[in-house]
Each structure stands twice: as C-alpha cells, then as structure tokens.
Amino acid sequence: MRKTYVLDTNVLLHAPNAFQVFGDNKVVIPEVVLEELDKFKHESGELGANARLVGRMLDKLREKGKLHEGVYLENGGLLKVEMNHLTVPLPPSWDPKSPDNRIIQVCKGLAGEGEKVFLVTKDIFERIKADILEVEAQDYRNDHVPSYDDQYKGRQEVYVEGELLDRFYQDKTPIKEEEVRLIKEWGGVFTPRFVTNEFVLLRSSQNPKQSALGKFNGKEIVPLRYSGIRPFGIAPKSVGQKFLLEALLSPPHEAPLVIAKGAAGTGKTLLALAAGLHRQMGKDKWYRRILVLRPSITMDEQIGFLPGDEQAKIDPLMRPVRDNLEILIDNDEEMRYVNEKELADKVEELFERKIVTTEALGFMRGRSLVKMYVIVDEAQNLTPKQVKGLITRAGNGTKIVLLGDPEQSDHPFLDARSNGLCYASEKMKGSSLCYQVTLNDEECERSELAAEGARRL
C-alpha cells in the first residue's frame, strides 16, 4: 500500500529536497506550509536560501501539471499541495489558525479517506499533538546517523603479543592489522578491523598494564609522531587527549579536518587552541592566523540588536575562548591570576595582533579560507548543511577543527543523531584527510567536580 507523507515547514527549511526522498509514495505539502515558507524567502541566512530553493523546485514541477491535483516525481512518487479538509474537527481548545494545527488537520482528513498517513516534522511538540489525534508522526530521518553510542569513536583498545608491543615501542616497528586481537567483555576474541586514521591503544596480551599508542594509516598501525610535543606547556592527561593532540599537531596537508567529540571538561577547546598557537607562533608558522567560530550565532540567524559592530556583538559568545587563552598565556596556576589586568592585556594582544580572530558563522558563506587554523566550538549546534558549507570553505593549507558534545545541542531541531558534528563524523569516517577522536566521560580533566558531574548528571 502506498504511504502518504505530510511534510511540515521545518522539514523543508532543514532539507529543501525532502519531498524527493520518499520513493514512490505520496508526498503532501499543506497549503499553509507554502505560506510559512513565503515568510522566510527574504531572509539572508540559510533559512531564507532554503525557502527560496523549495520555491524554485516547486515552480519547476508546475511544468508537469497542477500541484494541487498532484504531479509525479522522477522517483515515481506523487507530490500534491493539499488545500482541502478544512472542516475536519479539532479539539475545541486548539487554535484553528495555528499552522501546526492546520497541518495535523490535513493529516487527519487524509487518514479519514483511507490513506496510510505519516506526519513528518522536526517539531517534537507537534509530534505529541499529532499523537493525541492518533496521527502517526515521525522525525525527518534521511540525514540521521546512528545513535551516539553506536557512532564512530575514532579509537580502539586492542591486544597484541608482548614481543610485538616491545618492538613497536622501542624500535617503532609497525604492527599489521592481522596481528591484533580484540577481546570482548564476555570473553570472545576477534581480529578487529580498523578505519584509516583510527587511533589505537595497544596492550600486551601477557601483561595488559604494558601499553603503547598508535594510529592505523590504512595499511598498518604506526607509532604517534607528535607525542613528545607540549604546546604552550600543555601536557595531555589522558589517552584521548594524546590522540587529540596528535591529530591537531599533524600538518594540514595530512589532516585538514579534525573532529573531536566529548563531554564538557575533556579539554577539547584548550588543546585545540594550544596546538593552533604552537603551529602559528612557531618558527615554521604553518598558519596565517587562528580563526575561532561558534554556532551560537548560526548561519541562519542575524547577529541581533545588541549595540556595536560585529566583533562587539560576538565577543560575549567567545568568553570560553578567552578563558582558555588565559590558561595558555600563563600556565603557572598559582600566580596566573595575581595580576588580572596584565593577564587580560596579554590575551588582548593576541587579538590585536590578529594571531587569534573570532567571527560569526553567518559570514562564512562564499569565503575561501587559505592557510588558516579554524576552530569551530560547540559544533553540535550546526546543521548537516551548515557543516558541509563550512568544510567546503577550506582552501590550501587550512585546517578545520570541529569540537563539541553531541548530547548538548541547543538547536531546537537537532539531536545526537542529526546535528552537523555527528553527521560530519559519520560521513567523513575512513577519509584519509580526516582525523577523529571521541573523549570519554572519565577523561574529564577540568576539575574533580566537573568529572563527577559528567559521570553522575
């Protein structure tokens, strides 16, 4: 039986081609969705661009026939703009002028005609309201990735013979994939399979306390190359941090994209800034400058009505960056805050000399970033389309670092399976140009309280 999918406005604003991905089923766009899209067409951000794109695609389909009567798509599906079912009863307390209620009304009317109807919306509350009227509702899942626990971590812990581990540690002798064993909790022993650029914690089969760190280069496991570097005096305190520093310190022609996921306090931002400053201020000076972006001001939002220029408006969002720079500028924990003004002046000098710059993500569209070290903090608040737009801005000699906690998204329509950070992680898995690592909750190094909170809360 052919299914009927009714699309909400937020789905088309999120993925303009959404009506093309439901195979040979029927796709319905209520007329109120067109009215809502029309309100966004003059926006300058991503929402405006997506609304205009939907309009152009629908206008092109008018060549095949009348949309309110239904037109066939290339995949065999039927697209229809629905204008009927205005008299379908709704609960008395529901506002009949509400676009969400009108969409649910269309679903209820189509179901009453015997169609197998599914409401597709990214609005959780609309799905709850649909359930009240026994309308089946679901999220738009075409760009969903696996659940967070099943996502690619960028690291494995495995076992090898003690003799092989000794040669690996002392003589830097690579270890072949087939020489490694993976031991499951229930006692099963397997030969694991690795992904290119996956980090590996190697343990001795005879004495698990003996270990070494390496990386799978696509053919074999090789030792880390930059484990001896302490950028700005920062020494990694966990295995995950050692893996992350290796990725951050690797040259941009080898690792132009680094993706780091993990809970707050695991050191992602601090290490990213430390590695960037080390490579930018060193004698080789790999990068022209360090550019820090935060999607709290996203590509689909205006900067707002706060007074001042662009820099003045985004400065409050960059306070976490300044906090980390204070630690890097003066790594003496006892004396760091004795002279607060002197410390603030040192941090400000980094910005005045354009060593570190901050910008709003909304101004990235159309740019080409050449020989820059780009840190995107809180990247879990990016949409898949935004993260693609950002990565494709990278020019020669540029390194892009995506940082974030997938379970802490502030975006109303994103979660651990649909945000841009996780989307990029899954899609770039196995790329020779991408290094990834997920830091575990137990690797929280901010403070004892932060670590306890990460475990308990």
What pLDDT does 454 receive?
67
- Residue 130 falls within a domain, yes or no? yes
Same domain assignment for residues 153 and 131:
no
d(CA 151, CA 130): 30
Same domain assignment for residues 153 and 130:
no
* Helix 384-391 and helix 46-61, axial crossing angle in degrees, nearest 10: 100
- Residue 232 falls within a domain, yes or no? no
d(CA 210, CA 218): 25
What pLDDT does 297 receive?
43
pLDDT over 60 at 285, yes or no: yes
Same domain assignment for residues 17 and 152:
no
3-state secondary structure of 447: coil
- Bridge partners (DSSP) listed for residue 223: 214
Q: Which residues of 222-235 are buried (b: 16+ CB within 10 A; e: fewer)?
A: bbbeeeebebbebe
The enclosing domain of 401 has a CATH number of 3.40.50.300
Same domain assignment for residues 149 and 39:
no
Per-residue pLDDT reduced to its tens digit, 324-382: 898 888 766 666 666 788 888 888 999 999 999 988 776 676 788 999 999 999 999 99
| Residues 325/273, Cβ–Cβ less than 8 Å | yes
Mean pLDDT of the region 191-208: 94
- Residue 380 falls within a domain, yes or no? yes
Which residues form the domain of 33? 3-138
Radius of gyration in angstroms for the set of CA atoms belonging to the chain, rounded to a whole number: 26
Same domain assignment for residues 291 and 406:
yes
| Number of independent structural domains in the chain | 3
pLDDT over 50 at 267, yes or no: yes
d(CA 74, CA 419): 29
pLDDT over 90 at 241, yes or no: yes
DSSP secondary-structure letter at 333?
A: T
Per-residue pLDDT reduced to its tens digit, 122-158: 999 999 999 999 999 999 988 788 888 889 999 999 9
- Residue 155 falls within a domain, yes or no? yes
| Residues 301/361, Cβ–Cβ less than 8 Å | no
pLDDT over 60 at 299, yes or no: no
- Residue 229 falls within a domain, yes or no? no
Q: Over 66-92, what HEC string results?
A: CCCCCEECCCCCEEEEECCCCCCCCCC
Same domain assignment for residues 268 and 131:
no
Domain C-terminal end among 120, 138, 156: 138
Tracing tokens 């794109």 back to the chain, one arrives at 53
Mean pLDDT of the region 206-227: 95
- Residue 161 falls within a domain, yes or no? yes
Alpha carbon of 429 to those of 23, 160, 181, 425, 432: distances in Å?
27, 25, 22, 6, 9
Report angle CA 242, 244, 248 to the nearest 5 degrees.
120
d(CA 109, CA 368): 49
The enclosing domain of 194 has a CATH number of 2.30.130
Per-residue pLDDT reduced to its tens digit, 201-216: 999 999 999 999 999 9
What pLDDT does 301 receive?
45
What pLDDT does 256 receive?
98
Beta strand 220-223 pairing with 257-262: unpaired
Residue 245 burial class via C-beta count within 10 angstroms: exposed 0-12, middle 13-18, buried 19 and up = buried
d(CA 6, CA 105): 11
Same domain assignment for residues 161 and 267:
no
Same domain assignment for residues 218 and 243:
no
Of 282, 273, 274, residue with least CA distance to 235: 274
Residue of higher predicted confidence among 19 and 327: 19
pLDDT over 90 at 32, yes or no: yes
- Residue 230 falls within a domain, yes or no? no
What pLDDT does 429 receive?
96
Mean pLDDT of the region 149-172: 94
Same domain assignment for residues 132 and 99:
yes
pLDDT over 80 at 318, yes or no: no
Same domain assignment for residues 332 and 431:
yes
What's the mean pLDDT when you consider all of the chain? 89
| Residues 165/202, Cβ–Cβ less than 8 Å | yes
